[in-house]
């Protein structure tokens, strides 16, 4: 029974913490990790068994107890800097070694649409083949991590490639306050709301869709200019000047496979409505 599955969430941050709270509320036994001692109490208050786990040169924390589960949700972004690829690959390598000694048999890896090249066209799951062609160093790191996890035979991995994350404390109106102009206003956006991130992860777990790769973005793709205009109007902000589009350096992420395979209906299909909302 799904209710009896034990789920560990490595990385209880902006997505992982509300995900853990939701899954605990659904009757799953949930363990969660943070790198900060001060955040352990927040996990416990959310109904999550808390662990401090740090993936550095070695693993700090009781990783064996943390991985004493059926499913691992892996949500640790690669970070930034010139060494991001080497660092993230090292983290994933350490984790794979730990997983080999654990009862975990399914892994859900939170990836990103930055694994795709910005080729000025629509992209589907099969279009991310070459890490060197990814849209950023972080995207390159994530695609290498995807390949490492999916090549393992001791567990089955499903990859979710989320678009730009929108929700509490992450709204275009808040982004505008750190901007001086809107770059590439004619480029389409690939956004997904926190509610849909949680809903999609829960659907994968409930339906047992393992060994898959899914794009996960809202089905509508308004332009950056439209998004920030809507955010400014609905939040009483001054409109920002627009920088002319300088290139076709964009992509439109197609999530039809996820909709068809999971039978999933997006709770927030329109990024313009997300931009007008407060969370």
Mean pLDDT of the chain: 94
The fraction of the chain above a pLDDT of 90, given in percent, is 86
In this prediction, residues 162-190 reach a mean pLDDT of 92
Q: Which of 34-43, 111-120, 269-278 has the lowest average pLDDT?
A: 269-278
Which residues have C-beta within 8 Å of that of residue 17, sequence separation ≥ 6?
A: 32, 42, 43, 46, 48
Residue 81's pLDDT is 83
Residue 1's pLDDT is 41
Residue 2's pLDDT is 44
Place of tokens 């992982």: 16
In this prediction, residues 237-263 reach a mean pLDDT of 90
pLDDT at residue 244 is higher than 80: no
The topology (CATH level 3) of 77-276 is Rossmann fold (3.40.50)
Distance between CA 66 and CA 173 in Å, rounded? Answer: 38
pLDDT at residue 263 is higher than 60: yes
Kind and range of the H or E run holding 230: helix 224-235
Residue 110's pLDDT is 98
In this prediction, residues 129-149 reach a mean pLDDT of 95
pLDDT at residue 277 is higher than 70: yes
Which residues have C-beta within 8 Å of that of residue 8, sequence separation ≥ 6?
A: 30, 31, 32, 33, 66, 67, 69, 71, 72, 73, 104
pLDDT in tens, 98-126: 999 999 999 999 999 999 999 899 999 99
Spell out the domain ranges in the chain: 77-276
């Amino acid at each position: 029974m799904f209710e009896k599955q034990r789920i560990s969430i490595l990385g209880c941050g902006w997505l992982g913490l509300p995900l853990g709270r939701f899954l605990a509320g659904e009757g799953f036994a949930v363990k969660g990790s943070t790198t900060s001692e001060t955040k352990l109490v927040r996990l416990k208050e959310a109904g999550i068994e808390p662990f401090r786990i740090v993936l550095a040169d070695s693993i700090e924390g009781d990783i064996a107890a943390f991985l004493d589960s059926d499913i691992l949700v892996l949500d640790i972004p690669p970070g930034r800097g010139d060494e991001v690829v080497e660092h993230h690959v090292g983290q994933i390598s350490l984790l794979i070694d730990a997983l080999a000694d654990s009862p975990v048999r399914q892994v859900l890896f939170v990836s990103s649409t930055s694994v795709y090249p910005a080729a000025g066209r629509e992209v589907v799951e099969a279009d991310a083949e070459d890490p060197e062609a990814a849209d950023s160093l972080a995207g390159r790191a994530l695609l290498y991590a995807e390949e490492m996890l999916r090549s393992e035979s001791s567990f089955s991995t499903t990859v979710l490639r989320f678009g730009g994350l929108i929700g509490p404390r992450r709204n275009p109106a808040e982004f505008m306050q750190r901007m001086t102009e809107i770059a590439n206003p004619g480029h389409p956006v690939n956004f997904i709301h926190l509610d849909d991130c949680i809903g999609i992860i829960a659907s994968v777990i409930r339906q047992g869709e393992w060994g898959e790769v899914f794009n996960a973005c809202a089905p509508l793709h308004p332009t950056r200019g439209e998004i920030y205009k809507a955010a400014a109007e609905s939040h009483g902000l001054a409109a920002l000047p627009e920088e002319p589009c300088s290139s076709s350096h964009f992509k439109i992420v197609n999530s039809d496979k996820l909709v068809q395979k999971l039978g999933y209906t997006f709770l927030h299909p329109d990024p313009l409505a997300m931009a007008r909302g407060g969370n």
